[in-house]
Amino acid sequence: MNPVNATTPTAVDLFASALHFHPDGEVRAAGRRMGNGDSGSWQLAAFHAETDADVHADHWEMHPEADEAVCCLTGGARIHFRPAGPDDTTDTADAGDTVQLKPGTAVIVPRGRWHRVELDAPSDLMSITLPNGTRHEKRTGTR
């Protein structure tokens, strides 16, 4: 049996692994990662979410090194943003902006902007970002 050549086209299950886009132009399928390591590779990850717990709605997230595209493939979701001001640490949903996503729409989360996701229905979502240094903070607000 011949080993599979790395250049042999193969289907990749995006719900089981992520695509990593490396600075040298190489694309590899590998596990999802957020904040670990400094590979300099962008990550495209798709995931199915049934409940808010599946999208860590009780945590804020921030990517310090790059913007993030969050895309809704099916279902519906809301992306909440904490206020951008450096002195405002309010973390209630209505303190900042909220973007409604329906199938076929996306939002670009600016680098360094704290955000979180809540579902309107079970959804398939996709994110694309450079995950180096990603941070999470537990919410303290009630909404």
How deeply is 36 buried, as exposed, middle or buried, from its count of CB atoms within 10 A (0-12, 13-18, 19+)? Answer: exposed
- Cα–Cα distance between 100 and 123 in angstroms, integer? 13
Residue 124 parent element (H or E): strand 115-129
**pLDDT reported for residue 2:** 38
The residue whose two tokens read 């993030």 is 68
Was domain 18-138 assigned CATH 2.60.120.10? yes
* Residue 105 pLDDT > 80: yes
The residue extents of the domains of the chain are: 18-138
Weakest-pLDDT range from 15-29, 55-69, 84-98: 84-98
- Cα–Cα distance between 1 and 47 in angstroms, integer? 34
pLDDT digits (tens, 9 = 90+) for 106-132: 999 999 999 999 999 999 999 999 999
* Residue 61 pLDDT > 80: yes
**C-alpha torsion angle, residues 32, 78, 67, 103 (rounded to 10):** 80
Percentage of the chain lying above the pLDDT 70 cut:
82
Q: Which amino acid is at 72?
A: C
Per the CB < 8 A criterion, the answer to whether 127 and 45 are in contact is: yes
Instruction: Give the pTM.
Output: 0.83
Weakest-pLDDT range from 28-32, 42-46, 58-62, 76-80: 28-32
- Cα–Cα distance between 19 and 81 in angstroms, integer? 26
Q: Compute the average pLDDT of residues 90-114.
A: 85
Q: Compute the average pLDDT of residues 19-47.
A: 85
pLDDT band for position 5 (cuts 50, 70, 90): very low
* Residue 49 pLDDT > 50: yes
